[in-house]
Amino acid sequence: MPGHGLLTGRTAVVTAAAGAGIGGATARRFLEEGARVVIGDAHARRVRETTEALAEEFGAARVAGLACDVTDEEQVGALYDLAEALHGRLDIVVNNAGLGGTAELAGMTDEQWTRVIDVTLNGTFRCTRGALRRMRRVGSGGVIVNNASVVGWRAQRGQAHYAAAKAGVMALTRCAAVEAAEFGIRVNAVSPSLAMHPHLAKVTSQELLDELTGREAFGRWAEPWEVANVIVFLASDYSSYMTGETVSVSSQHA
């Protein structure tokens, strides 16, 4: 997709950006819009492969990557350190890392609950906190975009842990936005319904995919780049008056 220079000269960090999901699509769209991008992902090999592929296409000076588990504070800090060491500043952070799963509440273990919460909600908290500290120190504003989900609003069987985490991401976004506004920092979120990528296809039954697709007015799932386009909007000056908002990216029936 041809870019329009919406993010030219800005430095962005995108978590869970290795591979073909929303994070990977966001990193690509940011590069197409002129940004310098540092990608993080818990999978070191995929980070290396994705970084090399993007660097070959967009230039090594504009792309870097580092293995980053968002449940580890030191690894989150190292990802931001890399962005600042390479480019001197941190303008945009996209908190895309999350973990799902299916388990009915009565049979859910503490481990299942805690793991989803720690990656999806606590990880977003750690990354948001770290970004706010650095952006406030520099004093030139910044943008944070969190990845929530429509299940943060609606009930879905077997998704209590994931829904609670994503609802928490929405609440975190609102509160962070209020605290960040005086520093010129904007914090928003996207809330996709169903964006298809290979990992989701592996961990989700065809029956459930068919059911979720049936709820979409267009009769299909979103492509990751379609969600990434909304993230580009929220990261750009086109959304300069928006903060604390969660933007639904779906075609669901009312």
Show which residues are catalytic: 162
Sheet order of strands, 92-95 included: 63-67, 36-41, 11-14, 92-95, 142-147, 185-192, 246-249
DSSP string for 131-148:
HHHHHHHHTS-EEEEEE-
Please say whether the beta carbons of 39 and 23 come within 8 A.
Answer: yes
Give the separation between CA 146 and CA 117, rounded to whole angstroms: 15
Q: Can you tell me the distance from the alpha carbon of 179 to that of 244, in angstroms, rounded to the nearest whole number?
A: 10
The string of DSSP letters for 55-89 reads HHHH-GGGEEEEE--TT-HHHHHHHHHHHHHHHS-
Measure the CA angle with vertex 26, ends 59 and 91; round to 5°: 75
What is the C-alpha to C-alpha distance for residues 220 and 64, in angstroms, rounded to an integer? Answer: 33
In DSSP terms, which residues pair with 135 in a beta bridge?
A: none
User: Which helix (DSSP H) or strand (DSSP E) does residue 155 occupy?
Assistant: none
What type of residue is 120?
T
**How distant, in Å, are the alpha carbons of 25, 63, 107, 169, 246 from that of 231?**
10, 18, 36, 15, 11
